[in-house]
Chain A
Amino acid sequence: MLENLLIGFEAALSLENLLWCFIGVFLGTVIGILPGLGSATGVAILIPLTLTLDPLTALIMLAGIYHGSQYGATITAILIATPGEASSVVSTLDGYQMARKGRAGQALAISALSAFAASIVTVILLFTLAQFFANIALGFGPVEIMAIMLLGFATISMFSSGNLLLGMAMCAVGVLIGTVGIDMGTGVARFTFGSVDLFSGVPFIEVMIGLFALGELLNQLDKGQPKPIRARFRDLMLTKDDLKRSVMPTVRGTGIGFGVGILPGAGSTLASFLAYGTEKRFSKNRKQMGGGAIEGVAAPDAATSAAANGAFIPTLTLGVPGGATTAVLLGAFLLYGITPGPLLFEQEPRLVWGLLVSFLIGHLLLLLLNLPLAPVFAQLLRLRYGYLYPLIIFTAFIGAFAISNNTFSLWVVVVFGIVGYAMKRMNFPIAPLVLGLVIGPMFEKALVQSSALGGGDLMGIVAESPTAIVILVAAALLLVGPPVFAMIRGKSAKGLQIADADAMIQKVQEPVAADEEKR
Chain B
Amino acid sequence: MSEAIQTHRHSARRAVIIAYGVIALIGALFFALSFQYDFHRYEDQVGPGYLPRIAGAVVLVLGIALMIQEARTGSVLLGDSGVEEEQSEGMSRKTVIKLLTVFGIIILAVLLVPVLGLIPPLVLLVAALTIFVERMPVLPSLAVTVGAAVVAYALFVMVLRVPIPMGVFEELF
Contacts and interface: CB of A to CB of B under 8 A. Distances in A.
Interface of A: 48-49, 51-52, 161-163, 165-166, 168-169, 172-173, 175-176, 179, 183, 185-186, 188, 190-191, 214, 218, 221-222, 280, 290, 384, 386-387, 389-391, 393-395, 397-398, 401-402, 405, 407, 410-411, 414, 417-418, 422, 425-428, 440, 443-444, 447-448, 451-452, 455-458, 493-494, 496-504, 507
Contacts of A503: 4-5, 78-79
Interface of B: 1-2, 4-5, 15-16, 19, 23, 26-27, 30, 33, 37-38, 40-41, 43-48, 50-52, 55-56, 58-59, 62-63, 65-66, 69, 77-83, 86, 91-92, 95, 98-99, 102-103, 106-107, 109-110, 113-114, 118-119, 122-123, 125-126, 129-130, 134-136, 140-141, 144, 148, 152, 155-156, 159-165
B45 A451 contact: yes
8 contacts: A162-B80, A175-B51, A179-B30, A190-B52, A221-B95, A401-B162, A452-B45, A500-B1
A401 B118 contact: yes
Contact of B55 (A176, A391, A394, A411): A176
A402 B125 contact: no
B136 A402 contact: no
Contacts of B118: 397-398, 401
Given A51-B160, A179-B55, A218-B102, A499 B19 contact: no
Contacts, number: 218
A390 B86 contact: no
A414 B107 contact: yes
B137 to A, nearest CB: 10
A494 B2 CA distance: 7
A458 B78 contact: no
Nearest to B86: A425
A165 B66 contact: yes
Contact of A387 (B33, B130, B159): B130
Contacts of A161: 79-80
Contacts of A422: 19
Contacts of B40: 456
Given A185-B41, A394-B125, A398-B152, A387 B46 contact: no
A417 B103 CA distance: 10
Given A179-B51, A221-B95, A499 B77 contact: yes
Given A393-B106, A402-B156, A494-B5, A499 B78 contact: yes
Nearest to B65: A165
A222 B95 contact: yes
Given A387-B141, A504-B4, A398 B107 contact: no
A146 to B, nearest CB: 11
Contact of A426 (B19, B58, B102): B19
A425 to B, nearest CB: 7
Given A428-B81, A455-B43, A188 B48 contact: yes
B55 A427 contact: no
A411 B126 contact: no
A387 B113 CA distance: 22
B162 A402 contact: yes
A388 B99 CA distance: 16
B152 to A, nearest CB: 5
B110 to A, nearest CB: 5
A398 B122 CA distance: 8
A500 B59 CA distance: 25
A221 B98 CA distance: 8
B140 A163 contact: no
Nearest to A186: B48
B80 A173 contact: no
B143 to A, nearest CB: 10
A34 B24 CA distance: 36
Contacts of A51: 160
A192 B163 CA distance: 26
Contacts of B109: 397
Q: Which of B5, B58, B91, B152 has the most chain A CB atoms closer than 10 A to its own CB?
A: B5
B37 A414 contact: no
Nearest to A187: B48
Nearest to A443: B51
Nearest to B160: A52
A427 B81 CA distance: 5
A30 to B, nearest CB: 15
